[in-house]
Structure 1
Amino acid sequence: MVKRHLVDTRPLGVPAYRRIWVGQAVSHVGVGVTVVAVGQQVWELTHSSFWVGLLGMANLIPLIVFGLWGGAVADAVDRRKLLIIGSLIAWAATLFILVQALLDLRNIYLIFAAVALNSTGFAITGPTRGAIIPRIMEPELVPAANALNSLVYSIGAVAGPMVGAVALTKGGFAAAYTVDALLFAGSLYAALRLPSLPPLGEVRRPGARAVVEGLSFIVRSPVLMMSFVVDIIAMVFAMPRALYPELAAERFGGSMLALGWMNSAMAMGAVAGALFSGWVGRVSRQGVALSIVIAVWGLAVAAAGLAHDLWLVVLFMAVGGMADVISSVWRQSILQLYAPDEMRGRLQGAFMVVVAGGPRLGDLRAGATATAFGLTGAWVGGGIACAVTVLAVGLSVTGFRNFRAKKTR
């Protein structure tokens, strides 16, 4: 009985997927280290949550431009080659931010440039990797593969910030960025070991017309469109990440350990949610379910913003992380199984822009509202607004509310 609720590990029996999964497990720890370090470095240089929030814009612009373009390219070229190119760009960005720390340049604009370059690499690899998954395994295993992806990302997001907190305490920013640069090798190795993955079906030249075709497909599909909308609501309204350095300074004496725990909290919940995700593929009313779990996320964030004990902040953010990972599995599976292969890259590009861009807009929203209304108002108000809005919007669209997915088992 318990086994039915545990994460489905069958996709790991596919060698190509297993290498991708292991590579991401290693490299994503380094990503978590850099997320903590770069936010803290900007905070120390500016002492402003608004500037920390602006990191979201440095991420967002390349995500929009290169995410949509990268998705179109992924439909027209060998996806293995494109994944390698994007990985090398991201690695170069990590080395760039490491060099500025080693030289102690203390230039916030160089940090923003490094973040933008890293986001460019991610904007290429994200949709490409997502479009690869349905090519290397059977359709019935796709939801399970997405749950495993969420699990490995979440494990990295738990371990990364904690490792980052230790690295910052013991060796400073250069030590933290060095960890990321070394661990990135795991992701690059997985890309190099992939088989050739040339495009299938009708090939469109990767330009503006191809991008528009992908976006038009989403607009004409109410279920896909609403799966994007509810995620934007969740991340833009409720993501409190840009407020972590300020909260650590105001309530926990500027403790790097507290900062590490806060950055890891969501991922801790996501690990638990992914480990016990065996039931997720058996839910058919996924439109209603998505709206409910996103409302849970918003309420959990609001509760965390009211807490004055670190363990309560971590607990409530972990509950939010559980809801978020369940939401992500459903949204990714809907997209991958709904789209024809010749459009998967473009749709994955749009999906990645929403999934990765939403939190960046959320960073900007959090930083700006904290400046206007204070830390608690920005944090708690955003969570409550998310819960109310997602239920009002998600349940008002008939096609989305009545959407039923085919069971995978």
Structure 2
Amino acid sequence: MPRLRRDSFIDLRPFTASPAFARMWVGSTLAGLGGQLTIVAVMLHMYELTGSTFAVSMIAVAGLVPMVIAGLYGGMLADAFDRRRVALIAASVTWVSTFLLAVLAWGGLETVAWLYALSVVNSAANSIVSATRQAIVPRLLPRELLPAASALNGITMGIMVMGGPALAGVLVALTGYAWTYSIDVALMLANFLGLWSLPAIRPEGTMVRPGLESLRDGWRFLRRAANIRLQFILDIIAMTFGQPIALFPAIGAVLLGGGAITTGVLTAAIAAGAFVCSVFSGPFGRVRRQGIGIERAIIVYGVAIGLFGLALLAGALGAFAPETVDEGHPNVVIIVVAALALALAGAADNVSSIFRNTMVQAAVPDAIRGRLQGIFIVVVTGGPRLGALYAGTLATFTALWFPPLLGGMLIIALVAVLVRLSPRFRAYDAEHPVP
């Protein structure tokens, strides 16, 4: 039986090359784990208050415009001021919004309006933290270690989304919402430790103060940067048509049974795929044709989402179902099949993310990197919100299995056509990065 080569496993050199990066990674991982507790708890909380999948999907949609504005403005701040200070201020806003959620839950004062409002503030501030933190990474590490750093982010996402939703489902079921929010408040303190220990990091090159001219400067660069622009478009397609997370509460409550625990398992499956993929990400650092890598990874993602839709269709037709499907009697077989399809989707999305993030960090000059990272974060976090609107709205008028099945087919077709029309993207060389 062939043995795995040592260089098949994740490259840990970024930790030893930069202790500052290591501290920031630990802090963001713990804070992200807590953040996932709140994301899933708010979804479950909203479904309990309203009984509506559409209301759950609107949590993401309501925060879309504020998140876009915050991401773009946060990118401008990161290109004009000390990036460490920008990240610390934004992290403070995120912490306060989570603290207020916990206070309201403990007092029994939570309402639909409060859940929407605080979720919007949380997501907007967090988009600034993420954009600024990603703009910091290339200043802490040499270019050849950027793919390894992106793979380590996959480990972070795996821990966050694999542990967070599963833990959130159990905590909500056993202790309630107040304790779940409170644990996030405690875990988020680690974010400050990771950011506080960084040195001051001011952008290099000509700085443009935040404002309309700064935004126009970033837009002009993006218009010239065909490779960066196309990878943004491809990710929006994948996330818009292949992000069924808003359906998970209804799937657990109505279609497959298991309630909050099924919601946690399905969400965690995506992260489990990303985590395992990152563990074996060593070879990704040697891939030079990263545009082709992005194309193939997103097509596999579309296939996996389509398979998830087929699993839900089988569940809707009663395959392997117990006599009664409810919270205490789940359709275990279909839940397992659906989770495996989502794990494949998580792995494929992680491969795409590693190449896309590396491309932005390596090909974009430091003086404008904050603004491009702001756009990158808007795409990465805004796409799933469009996906929530697509899935929630379409499922309301059709069935829970239809949005992922249709979405998977759309992803495969659109990505294949767009990349074939862009030979420069397919020729992108990581040794000679051209935006």
Q: TM-score range by the shorter chain?
A: over 0.9
Report what 2:397 is aligned to.
Answer: 372
Please provide the CA RMSD for this pair. 1.4
Q: Deviations over 1:322-364 (max 9, x none)?
A: 0000100100110111111111101100100001111111111
Q: Which moved more, 1:208-217 or 1:64-73?
A: 208-217
Alpha-carbon distance between aligned partners in 2 of 1:147 and 1:361, rounded to the nearest angstrom: 26
Is the Cα contact below 8 Å between 2:293 and 2:355 reproduced in 1?
A: no
8 A contact 1:282–1:407 mirrored in 2: no
Q: Deviations over 1:14-38 (max 9, x none)?
A: 1100001111221111111112111
Structure 2 spans left out of the alignment, 5+ residues: 316-333
Counterpart-to-counterpart distance in 2, 1:61 and 1:177: 24
- Gaps of at least 5 residues in structure 1 are none
- 1:56-71 correspondence to structure 2 within 5 Å: 56-71=60-75
How far residue 284 of structure 1 moved from its aligned partner, in angstroms, is 2.1
| Offset at residue 140 of structure 1 (A) | 1.2
Partners of 2:166 and 2:139 in 1: CA distance: 35
Aligned: 1:194 with 2:198: yes
Q: State whether structure 2 residue 8 is matched by structure 1 residue 2.
A: no
Match of 1:93 in 2: 97
Match of 1:121 in 2: 125
Q: In the aligned structure 2, how far is the partner of 1:39 from the partner of 1:353?
A: 21
- Contact 2:236–2:380 at 8 Å: present in 1 too? yes
TM-fit CA distance, 1:103: 2.1
* Alignment pair present for 1:146 and 2:150: yes
SS of the equivalent of 1:271 reads: helix
Q: Give aligned pairs, total.
A: 408
The Cα shift of 1:136 comes to 1.1
Residue 215 in structure 1 maps to residue 219 in structure 2: yes
Residues in 2 aligned to 1:398 and 1:159: alpha-carbon distance in whole angstroms: 40
Offset at 1:298?
1.2
Q: Following the alignment from structure 1 to structure 2, what is the Cα–Cα distance between the partners of residues 190 and 7?
A: 22
Pair member with larger Rg: 2
Q: d(CA) in 1 for partners of 2:195 and 2:389?
A: 33
Larger mean CA deviation between 277-286 and 231-240 belongs to 277-286
CA distance in 1, matches of 2:352, 2:173: 34
* TM-score, with structure 1 as normaliser: 0.97
Q: Is 1:383 matched up with 2:408?
A: yes
Report the 3-state secondary structure (helix = DSSP H, G, I; strand = E; otherwise coil) of the residue aligned with 1:204. coil
- Aligned residue number for residue 422 of structure 2: 397
- In structure 2, the residue matched to 1:271 is 275
Residue 251 of structure 1: CA displacement?
2.6
Q: Which amino acid aligns with 2:75?
A: G
For residue 286 of structure 1, report the CA deviation from its aligned partner.
Answer: 1.8
CA offset digits 1:239-279 (Å, max 9, x no partner): 00110011111233242221110110100000011111111
Paired residues of 1:93 and 1:117 also in contact (CA < 8 A)? yes
Matched, 1:300 2:304: yes
Return the letter of the residue paired with 1:107.
T
Q: 2:360 corresponds to which letter in structure 1?
A: L
- Identity across the alignment (%): 37
- Which stretch shows the higher mean deviation, 47-56 or 68-77? 47-56
Note if contact 2:241-2:403 (Cα within 8 Å) is conserved in structure 1.
no
Query: Which amino acid in structure 1 is aligned with residue 220 of structure 2?
Result: S
Q: Structure 1: how far apart are the matches of 2:306 and 2:366?
A: 40
- One-letter code of the match for 1:381? L
